[in-house]
Amino acid sequence: MQFNSTLRYLIFLFIGFITNSYAIHDGQIGVLQYNVKASSAVWTNPALRDKQLKLIETQIKAAPNKVDFIALEEANAEFGIPGPLLSTVLTDKKMMGWQTIVSVCGTDSTQLTYNAQNWTLIKALANGQRPQVCWAKGNALIALIRPHSNPYGRPYNMAYFQSRQQPHLKVLVIPTHMPHWKPGYIKSQQWMLTAFRLRATAVTGVSNLHPVNMIFVGDMNELGANDKITTRVLDPIFGKSSLSPPQSSCCYNDDFQYATDRVATNISTTMTSALLSPAGGYPINKSSGFLRSNEEHKAVFVTLTLPTQKH
């Protein structure tokens, strides 16, 4: 009798371990946002990049299963080539179960790394250097003069996921590096919002996107300081959305006074956000470099608490 009760208890613990390893922790989705700033010679310097990677690794280890998605912008090697992939780095550190998809626009890129133990990728808009996914056509002259500057193009991606633990829960995640705000520029024909909508439909297979759970994450530049990103871009396509609480994440050369790194979502949720700091603090790159100011960003971690049921 004692053996049977002990066996039942061990089976219960085992089942709990298995299910929890694939669970969305406490009905939450954790999103880490970080512009790692290859253009400020941070990500391109292996020693400095290791400090950025250590920050990410520390957050994952500190909150097992709470980190679902990691969005990186400007995660480029020299000459604008994306790399290294965050999932590869994590695997090298014996941190398994992560996958990365990439999108490129000019010399800029986004990496979206997801916890494959929690989420199954249904479909992605892009994964690699082709096709390029841009908000608009970049300025070729500016790109020639300043290879890291693509003020109008800038990349985004779209990836549709299904929760392994809650198969009814699907989420469209859109990592982005937004163009800088120009008066009158946020128009459908200029930022190609029609193409943006059509791409979202192609990835999700849904023409009416309002019911689709959407998480929009990235360096939003000036659009992160107000509701333009929601009212002008997201709300007409996905329905009413909200922004995560602002954190002063940009930039070192301006004493980190701007809240550019945000998450927006149309999910009925409460969001909390926190700055993440590396060992030794910011800036990671202590020098500004020749003819280049250090516009280094801070990493931000956003937690979305979901409704008890979301169908």
Tokens found for residue 81: 């080539």
pLDDT of residue 294: 85
Report how far apart, in Å, the C-alpha atoms of 127 and of each of 32, 75, 137, 289 are: 20, 14, 20, 32
Spatial CB neighbours of 267, under 8 Å, sequence gap ≥ 6: 171, 213, 214, 215, 304, 306, 307, 310
Write the CB contacts of 302 (distance below 8 Å, at least 6 apart in sequence): 30, 31, 32, 33, 217, 244, 262, 263, 271, 272, 273
Q: What is the pLDDT of residue 128?
A: 86
pLDDT of residue 80: 66
What would the pLDDT profile of 84-112 be if each residue is shown by its tens digit? 899 999 999 899 999 999 999 888 899 99
Which portions of the chain are predicted below pLDDT 70? 1-26, 64, 78-80, 138-152, 182-185, 187-189, 288-292, 309-311
Place of tokens 């997201």: 234
3-state secondary structure the chain: CHHHHHHHHHHHHHHHHHHHHCCCHHHEEEEEEEECCHHHCCCCCHHHHHHHHHHHHHHHHHCCCCCCEEEEECCECHHHCECCCHHHHHHHCCCCCEEEEEEEECCEEEEEEEECCCEEEEEECCCCCCCCCECCCCCHHHHHHCCCCCCCCCEECCEEEEECCCCCCEEEEEEEECCCCCCCCCCHHHHCHHHHHHHHHHHHCCCCCCCCCEEEEEECHHHHHCCHHHHHHHHHHHCCCEECCCCCCECHHHCCCECCEEEEECCCCEEEEEEECCCCCCCCCCCCCCCCCCCCCCEEEEEEECCCCCC
Is residue 139 within 8 A of residue 108, CB to CB? The reply is no
Q: Amino acid identity, residue 14? A: F
The CATH number that domain 26-305 falls under is 3.60.10.10
- At residue 263, the pLDDT reads 98
* Per-residue model confidence (pLDDT) at position 59: 95
For tokens 């292996």, name the residue: 46
Q: Note the pLDDT of residue 223.
A: 86
- Beta strand pairing status for 261-265 and 214-219? antiparallel
